[in-house]
Amino acid sequence: MSKNISGAEYPLAKIFSSDFDYVIPSYQRPYAWTPVQAGELFSDLHDFYLKEDKEDTYFLGSIVLIKEEGKPQAEVIDGQQRLTTLTILLAALTHRATGQIRDAFHRYLCEPGNVLEGLAQKPRLTLRERDQAFFKRYIQDVALDELMAIDPAKLDNESQRNIQANARLLLQRLESAFRSDSQAATAFGGFLVQRCFLVAVSTPSQQSAFRVFSVLNSRGLDLLPTDIIKSDVIGKVKPELQDEYNETWEELEVGTGRDGFAEVFGHIRMIYAKEKARRALLDEFRERVVDKVPSAEDLVTKVIEPYTQAYLVAKNAHFVSTSNAAEVNALLRWLNRIDNSDWLPSAMRFLADHQFDAAYVHWFIVRLERLAACMHVCGHDVNARIERYAKVLNALEKPHSLAQPVFAVELSDFEKFDFLKQLESEVYLMTPRRRNYLILRLDSFLSDGAATYDPSILTIEHVLPQTVDKDSEWAAQWPNAAEQVHWLHRLANLVPLNRRRNSQAQNYDFERKKKAYFGGKQSVSSYVLTTQVLNISDWTPDVVEKRQKDLIDVLASAWSLR
């Protein structure tokens, strides 16, 4: 079986050539990268491009294909997100170019065809059937102006909204980086196709391909960086103490689990480095942490042990104290709902140093949750988040107490302004993770934190429907189409439900919709936001405007934004 597996490193010029004809199988998940991941990819590529060494190459990772040697047909088992995002980036570069340069870029999007070589005209990458026509029409045929003009709410699914949002972001990033300098943009494109590499692992067998995918993505019993670090560290402990330190190490690993322990080491690296990792964890941990600690004994007792204990408190919301424990643990649970763990190093550093000062812990976690929520709701990418948390980590290294607290965790006036701007915007058009987090957090403020939520069964619905029939009661109450558009996707017009109801009921008149759609047979809801709507008799522009103000006031007060 292994003889049928081949792997090689190729520049993107080869990856997007007639040597490969990619197809995303229907059983794969939809395209899921948001502007956060796409923005991170562009930032990494552009930062690397600006380095002084113009001969160095950039490694983009690996893709796993079902592909026979010598034949271009390639079924993508792993790598869909990167291939799709890179295609969108190439389309954005094509969109900016003209003449021969545009034609050169476009060849990486579509096979132009060659009768003599038996090559048909077709896209380099074929998405799942539900999205391929859309992707071909707007991305591979480079109709990005038309794509930008589409109302995201009118797109068929989340995958298409992600494609549109990432195309918009990458166009903005290219404009910010190169403005009208077409030569500079072309040079960046040259770097992209010549000096950026992917490893393509190919096998003609589906079973073998899934085995490769499993090996690449499963840690199983393979050695983790923590295992190698353990060997190095325990080997340097005094011989008479090695058994004791080995037992301590293993107890910590059992407490977190193997993967969790590796995550702890990544966060410890961040506490020391305060910047994004550029190399493997093993190399960076040795350089950034091990080499900075006087002895192996100190590394275990003064670094790994206290930070692991702090990680368990933060990750499991298990803060213990005679005062403020319930409030702190509630905030930690909300922090753990955020779709990244970049806040954890700051929490770990603080808890390791001040876990016995319950009042100060409460002060800090209140502000850390607000900072994390701000960056989550505002859609900050990983680079922006790491840069912001680095300011907190730097401040935590200096003496501080409740009398002289760490003000770096406070939101600046600009951050408060930006946060409020996002809260007042068309919330429904945010990514589902951001939108759902915000609406559940708002509901928790209205319920005084007493409610519990299961986001797996949550759906967000419009009160004023997205489509207003001209002969309906809605049209009579909302005669101004501009008002409909303005309020449709904002907080005031959105309600959380435990499950998606009959889609036909979405367009019912207000009174019937409340009974059949929002409240159900019992005419009650699990959510305060929805119960409030059930108690309103008419849904008019004036009612929605006042509700919007009230809801924003709740958020502004709870998060101290004014």
pLDDT > 90: percent of the chain: 65
H or E, element range at 337 = helix 325-337
Examine the pLDDT at 206 and tell me if it is beyond 80.
Answer: no
Average pLDDT, integer, range 417-446: 95
Per-residue pLDDT tens for 301-316?
A: 999 999 999 999 999 9
Per-residue pLDDT tens for 249-268?
A: 989 988 898 889 999 999 99
10 vs 282: which has the higher pLDDT = 10
CB 380 within 8 A of CB 388: yes
Average pLDDT, integer, range 71-89: 93
Tokens, residue 267: 């966060």
Examine the pLDDT at 220 and tell me if it is beyond 50.
Answer: no
Tokens, residue 173: 């990033």
* Range in 27-36, 407-416, 458-467 the model is least confident about: 27-36
- Partner residues linked to 496 by β-bridges: 460
pLDDT band at 328 (very low <50, low <70, confident <90, very high): very high
535 vs 207: which has the higher pLDDT = 535
Query: Would strands 6-11 and 196-203 be described as parallel, antiparallel, or unpaired?
Result: antiparallel
Average pLDDT, integer, range 381-394: 96
CB 105 within 8 A of CB 94: yes
**What's the half-sphere exposure (Cβ side, CA atoms, 13 Å) at 370?**
23
The span from the CA of 157 to the CA of 388, in Å, is 33
pLDDT of residue 283: 86
pLDDT of residue 174: 96
Per-residue pLDDT tens for 177-203?
A: 999 899 999 999 999 999 999 999 888
pLDDT > 70: percent of the chain: 91
pTM > 0.85: no
Based on its alpha-carbon atoms, the radius of gyration of the chain, rounded to whole angstroms, reads 27
Per-residue pLDDT tens for 136-161?
A: 999 999 999 999 999 998 898 888 99
Q: Which of 431-435, 534-538, 553-557 has the largest mean confidence?
A: 553-557
E-strand ranges in 338-483 read 459-462
The span from the CA of 132 to the CA of 135, in Å, is 5
Average pLDDT, integer, range 111-129: 83
The span from the CA of 344 to the CA of 217, in Å, is 24
pLDDT of residue 178: 94
Tokens, residue 263: 């995550």
3-state secondary structure of 459: strand
**What's the half-sphere exposure (Cβ side, CA atoms, 13 Å) at 265?**
27
Name which of 544, 426, 550, 430 is nearest 493 in CA terms. 544
pLDDT band at 452 (very low <50, low <70, confident <90, very high): low
pLDDT band at 2 (very low <50, low <70, confident <90, very high): very low
3-state secondary structure of 25: coil
The phi, psi pair for 122, rounded to 5°, reads -170, 160
Average pLDDT, integer, range 38-52: 90
CB 166 within 8 A of CB 174: no
CB 458 within 8 A of CB 500: no
pLDDT band at 27 (very low <50, low <70, confident <90, very high): low
pLDDT of residue 70: 86
The span from the CA of 236 to the CA of 71, in Å, is 53
User: Cβ atoms within 10 A of the Cβ of 139, count?
Assistant: 27
Per-residue pLDDT tens for 334-363?
A: 999 998 999 999 999 999 999 999 999 999
